[in-house]
Structure 1
Amino acid sequence: MKVIICYLSYSGNTEEVADLLKKQLEAGNFEIDMYSIGYGAVPNLFEYNLIFLGTFTWDKGSTPEEMKDFAREVGDKPNNVYIFGTGDTQFGGDDLFCNAVNKLARFYNSDYPGLKIEQSPRGSQERLVSKWLEGVLEHAEGKNIRT
């Protein structure tokens, strides 16, 4: 099964989540491609069984412009997208925490809850990543996406 993990990261937190997902998926014998948004040609997402999109939340709940540009470049919306992101509750509190995850999930009509990580996925938050990924794989299997 082909999987792509596309992510946008300035501080490295979202990239850390992407790397954790990659490591765990590799253990399951998935074929993984990584794409750092803004670097190189945008891949054809329709070649993948599962698509993971990761972003941080910017400017009091906003989606970064690079992520919006990426979505425009992709064009049509694939239906096998799972969203993850990082944020910081000190900028906008719980109401705006990882709001870019919510926005992307709505944009891609994702019917599985996005993963929201406070800053870095280290420590106990690594378990949140693992648990979320397990749920994604079960969800994809239920939708008859080959896992």
Structure 2
Amino acid sequence: MLIAYLSYSGNTEETAELIQKKLIAKGASVEMHRIGIDPPINPSHYDVMFMGTFTWDNGSTPDEVKDFVLEIGYKPDNMAVFGTGDTQFPFFCQAVDRLTRFYESKWQGLKIEQSPRGSQEIKIDRWLEGVLQYVRRIA
């Protein structure tokens, strides 16, 4: 599995690391990819790809994430999208919604309020369970 993410504040990175920890605990092989920093990936090497982002400006997807989408070059059918944001802004995690629709993801996007700690961790557990059910079916 691949977890690709973009993080400025550290919240999306923290969420990505928590997802990685939980997947490894379930026996998955996981690679991390820092969008805009690490070299390009080959999406065909992964059973599931997780993409993490924040929402920028007035509900926009950050340019680095858009570049990553173009770098992939096609719409893999195994993309699960997560993101972090702040509910005080009117466009809370709208980039997650946009990417989930773009990839026609099998899974609803995971939206985390700022940090993934506390009750937010339960949301991650439930969301991952849904993703892993799909992986078990194709295995």
TM (norm. structure 1) is 0.90
- Which of 41, 49, 52 is the matching residue for 1:51? 49
In structure 1, distance between residues paired with 2:74 and 2:89: 32
Return the alpha-carbon distance in structure 2 between the equivalents of residues 131 and 5 of structure 1.
Answer: 17
Of 73, 97, 102, 2:97 maps to: 102
Alignment of 1:3-14 (within 5 A): 3-14=1-12
Equivalent residue number for residue 82 of structure 1: 80
Match of 1:72 in 2: 70
Q: Which residues of structure 2 form unaligned runs of 5+?
A: none
Q: What is the root-mean-square deviation in Å for CA atoms of aligned residues?
A: 1.1
Question: How far apart are the structure 1 equivalents of 2:12 and 2:28?
Answer: 21
Structure 2 counterpart SS, 1:46? helix
What residue in structure 1 maps to residue 109 of structure 2?
114
Distance in 2, Cα, partners of 1:73 & 1:50: 17
Query: Which one of the candidate residues 127, 130, 137 is aligned to 1:132?
Result: 127
Contact kept in structure 2, 1:112 and 1:139, CA below 8 Å? no
1:60 and 2:58 are equivalent in the alignment: yes
Distance of 2:40 and 2:21 partners within structure 1: 22
Corresponding residue number in structure 1 for 2:22: 24
Please report how far the alpha carbon of residue 140 of structure 1 lies from its aligned counterpart in structure 2 after TM superposition. 3.5
Q: How many residues align?
A: 139
Whole-Å separation in 2 of the counterparts to 1:135 and 1:31: 18
The answer for the alignment partner of 1:41 in structure 2 is: 39
Residues 99-131 of structure 1: CA deviation (Å, up to 9, x unaligned): 000100111110210100011111111111111
